[in-house]
Structure 1
Amino acid sequence: MKSSVSNCPVPTDQQPLNEYEQLKTSWLFRDCTLDWRQYLTKMVWIWGISWLVAGPVAAASFPPQKNLAHFILSGAAGASVGVVLTLVRLYLGWLYVRDRLYSMTVFYEESGWYDGQTWTKPPEVLSRDRLIVTYDIKPILQRLQFTFAGLAGLLLIGTIVWHLL
């Protein structure tokens, strides 16, 4: 396997395995690899910080002194936008690396946008990359999808409560 990788013409920073390693250790993206408790804590922090923008907007629409329930529900929904944007960024980043690892070929640029090349992975590199996708990246994408579903469920519950008020 080492000879196949050493013969790889793809620049080091554009090799899918190195892109995966960079993503796995980068700020924010590494949060997806934490255990569920730590991961959800990070998402709650993002939601809480998003209240700095959503809170004043909700207060302008529904003064807390008069409509506390509507203020809380609209502020919570507005703060969820920050979480949704973060989740979309995380999902797209992991999806990109998954596609690069899973693909039989790797598109790369030698020195600029005008001289792109394609490299076909040898079977052992392809097998290694697909194992990484199956055992490392697929669970992360499933976690993000589950988080999207949970957030959608919470927004649905908030909508139902809103209409009951």
Structure 2
Amino acid sequence: MSNPTSFCPVPKEQQPINEYQELQSSWFFGWVKLAPGKYITKLLWVGIWSLIATAPLAAASFPIAKYPIQFGICAIGGSSIFVALATVRLYLGWIYVKNRLYGESIFYEESGWYDGQNWLKTPEILTRDRLLVSYEIQPILKRIQTTFLTLLATMVSVIGYWVIIY
């Protein structure tokens, strides 16, 4: 049996299956494929490093000795914005590959931005790509969405608490 991608005119680096493999092996985008504890740890590290950046800003607005609760809310709130941005970036990368895999055709560039082409996938490649989306990428997207919704709920709770104390 021949390799179904052997007659594909799309350059190797622009084939969705190769984009998927590159994404899952990358340092940042591979986080989502880690065990839940390790994934959360990675996001917590983003939060800790961004807390280091946001704490001085929060301290400038709310001195720690005078307003400890407000300082904490501002510092953690600012830090969670960075975690949310990282989560959005994860989502955008994975949704791009999902759309490329799920589509019936592949847009690719032969030699530059000015000469793009569309290639209609063969039924074998389309089936393989859609199975990959169903069994590999959909759970990843679900995890990222859950992460983002958890962050959003936390932010809303913190804002609600802020409103109550003022």
Shorter-chain TM-score category?
over 0.9
In structure 2, distance between residues paired with 1:56 and 1:136: 41
Distance 1:113 1:164 in 2: 53
Equivalent position of 1:121 in the other structure = 121
For the residues of structure 2 that align with 1:26 and 1:158, how far apart are their CA atoms? 33
1:63-115 Cα shifts (integer Å, max 9, x gaps): 00000000001100000111111111111000000000000000001111111
Residue 152 of structure 1: aligned partner: 152
User: CA separation in 1, counterparts of 2:4 and 2:38?
Assistant: 38
C-alpha distance in 1, partners of 2:156/2:37? 23
Structure 2 gap segments, 5+ residues each: none
Mapped to 2, the partners of 1:34 and 1:18 lie a distance apart of: 20
Shift of 1:2: 3.7
User: 1:160 deviation in Å?
Assistant: 2.1
TM-score after normalising by structure 2: 0.96
Corresponding residue number in structure 1 for 2:18: 18
Gaps of at least 5 residues in structure 1 are none
Matches within 5 A, 1:67-86: 67-86=67-86
Distance verdict in 2 for CA 1:97–1:2, change over 3 Å: farther
1:27 alignment partner, SS class: coil
Structure-2 separation of matches of 1:157 and 1:107: 43
2:45 counterpart of 1:45:
yes
- Structure 1 runs of 4+ aligned residues shifted over 6 Å read none
Percent identity between the two aligned chains: 48
Number of equivalenced pairs: 165
Q: Over aligned residue pairs, what C-alpha RMSD do you find?
A: 1.0
